[in-house]
């Protein structure tokens, strides 16, 4: 019964995926009207664009909650995906991975068909994209954290040279575009928000939310307080730069202190067994070849 149940469930999932991928009639009509009004056919889309369209169609059929959508959208922005269709594409990737793993383990492609294992693979395929997204967001936040020291140095120089804070942020973003593209992109977004009419405090808070870096959140809080109370921006930035470098040195010392503990597991698992074989192996062989005949004679 297990292979039969796996076959029925797999067929149902394939049918559901085919129904989800079926072209929408309204979308087809809109596309044809656009072709008629422009007077030419659409150019062939690249392969990756076709794959993206398939994932979007899958994502549109996925169940979702408002709370989950809010957290996922924030995580996508922190990972660098800001487009409106990024959330739908992510849901499509989730469903695609889940279906692929379920089909692999519910058929005889990899192993003997097993419904329990296939259901576990289905859940794993649903979880893996979220773990990968969290990893991407963490790596991007780490790169932004490493670029803060250089940004602060350039910001202090620009402000002390007579530029305002908005102009200094724009100038620093232009200078860091090659070395730190992630941070330069965030600074460019701040400039666009300020040009659109957003208050500076709100634009800076959006920067902290988009990156998810604690040091950058502290810098934003300091800049907002400096702007509110009218204190010197250059002096505040210089003090914060020294504080940030102290934190970086403390993090490096903490990582160095953890190295000894982390090295215990590779030593015990990989190196110590080899040392025991090299040092004790010959003595053990000699012990067996000499002592066992004596024991046999004594018997």
How much of the chain is helix, strand and coil, in % rounded to 5?
A: 85, 0, 15
> Does residue 154 have a pLDDT over 80?
yes
For 288-298, the pLDDT digits (tens) are: 787 777 777 76
Alpha carbon distance 56, 112 (integer Å): 32
Alpha carbon distance 295, 299 (integer Å): 6
Alpha carbon distance 224, 200 (integer Å): 8
> Does residue 186 have a pLDDT over 60?
yes
Alpha carbon distance 187, 220 (integer Å): 12
For 236-249, the pLDDT digits (tens) are: 888 888 888 888 88
Q: Which two tokens stand for residue 93?
A: 């990737």
pLDDT band at 123 (very low <50, low <70, confident <90, very high): confident
* CB-based contact 137:212 (threshold 8 Å): yes
Q: Does domain 141-260 have CATH number 1.20.81?
A: yes
- The predicted pLDDT at position 140 comes to 92
For residues 30-48, average pLDDT: 53
For 57-91, the pLDDT digits (tens) are: 776 766 677 777 778 888 888 888 888 788 888 88
> Does residue 47 have a pLDDT over 60?
no
- The predicted pLDDT at position 251 comes to 86
For the chain, the domains span: 2-138, 141-260, 269-298
> Does residue 213 have a pLDDT over 80?
yes
To 10 degrees, what angle do helices 66-79 and 200-211 make?
A: 90
Q: Which two tokens stand for residue 249?
A: 């040195």
Q: Is 197 left (phi over 0), alpha (psi -120 to 50) or beta?
A: left
What is the residue-averaged pLDDT of the chain? 79
pLDDT band at 43 (very low <50, low <70, confident <90, very high): very low
- The predicted pLDDT at position 28 comes to 58
* CB-based contact 54:23 (threshold 8 Å): no
Enter the pTM of the model.
0.70
pLDDT band at 45 (very low <50, low <70, confident <90, very high): very low
């Amino acid at each position: 019964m297990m292979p039969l149940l796996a076959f029925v469930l797999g067929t149902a999932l394939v049918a559901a995926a085919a129904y989800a991928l079926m072209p929408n009639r309204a979308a087809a009509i809109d596309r044809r009207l656009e072709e008629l009004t422009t007077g030419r056919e659409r150019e062939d889309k690249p392969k990756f664009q076709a794959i993206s369209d398939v994932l979007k169609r899958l994502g549109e059929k996925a169940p979702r909650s408002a709370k989950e959508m809010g957290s996922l959208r924030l995580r996508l922005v922190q990972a660098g995906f800001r487009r409106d269709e990024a959330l739908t594409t992510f849901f499509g990737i989730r469903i695609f991975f889940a279906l692929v793993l379920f089909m692999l383990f519910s058929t005889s492609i990899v192993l003997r068909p097993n419904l329990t294992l296939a259901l576990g693979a289905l859940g794993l395929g649903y979880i893996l994209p979220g773990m990968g997204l969290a990893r991407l967001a963490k790596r991007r936040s780490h790169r932004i954290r490493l670029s803060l020291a250089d940004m602060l140095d350039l910001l202090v120089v620009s402000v002390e040279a007579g530029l305002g804070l908005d102009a200094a942020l724009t100038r620093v973003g232009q200078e860091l575009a090659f070395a730190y593209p992630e941070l330069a992109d965030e600074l460019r977004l701040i400039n666009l928000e300020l040009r659109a009419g957003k208050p500076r405090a709100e634009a800076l808070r959006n920067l902290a939310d988009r990156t998810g870096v604690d040091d950058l959140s502290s810098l934003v809080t300091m800049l907002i307080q400096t702007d509110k109370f009218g204190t010197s921006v250059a002096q505040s930035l210089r003090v914060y730069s020294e504080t940030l470098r102290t934190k970086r040195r403390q993090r490096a010392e903490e990582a160095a202190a953890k190295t000894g503990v982390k090295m215990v597991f590779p030593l015990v698992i990989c190196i110590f067994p080899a040392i025991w074989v090299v040092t004790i192996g010959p003595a053990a062989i000699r012990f067996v070849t000499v002592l066992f005949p004596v024991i046999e004679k004594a018997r």
